[in-house]
Amino acid sequence: MKQTTLCYIERDGAYLMLHRVKKENDASHDKWIGVGGKCEKDESPDECMLREVREETGLEITNWKYRGIVTFISDIWPCEYMHLFTATKWEGEMIDKNACDEGVLEWIDKKSLYDLTLWPGDRIFLRLLEEASRPFFSLKLVYRGDDLVQAKLDNVEMKL
């Protein structure tokens, strides 16, 4: 089972987004996502998130929330548990937006997020992140190719 993290770093009503355009054979090629990556051996989800954010942005996150777990099921890719975080405080200076080896970093106003090329399931959990009263959640997303065919929020089927 693949374990990954994804963090949405927030500043002035915008999220730091990564436009995935630099790696070959990237399942998320040309998509916009938060910052994160694969958990290493013996690494907790928060340790992974902190390391990945540091490696991809140069920032040291100092205030974060563990918001949910997303289970990805695909007919193409291995099953994945993605640990989802938001962050509002950090130290250090961000690297040049083109220096990340995963893609290009951009601050994107939250109102403009849905104009970007996103995975269909990302649209669901980005909305969940904006619900101030939303507790920790479990979201299951089932894909056939790039098409989202099923979503369950806290084990309740969602209408797509």
The sign of the dihedral angle between the CA atoms of 6, 135, 119, 90 is negative
- CB 104 within 8 Å of CB 19: yes
Band of the pLDDT at 23, cuts 50, 70, 90?
A: low
pTM to 2 decimal places: 0.93
Running DSSP on this structure, what letter comes out for residue 20? -
In this predicted model, which residue has the larger pLDDT, 104 or 50? 50
For the chain, what percent of residues have pLDDT higher than 90? 81
Report the alpha-carbon distance of residue 136 to residue 111 in Å, rounded.
Answer: 23
Asked if pLDDT for residue 93 goes beyond 80, the answer is: yes
Mean pLDDT of the chain: 93
Which of 135, 15, 13, 118 shows the shortest CA–CA distance to 67? 135
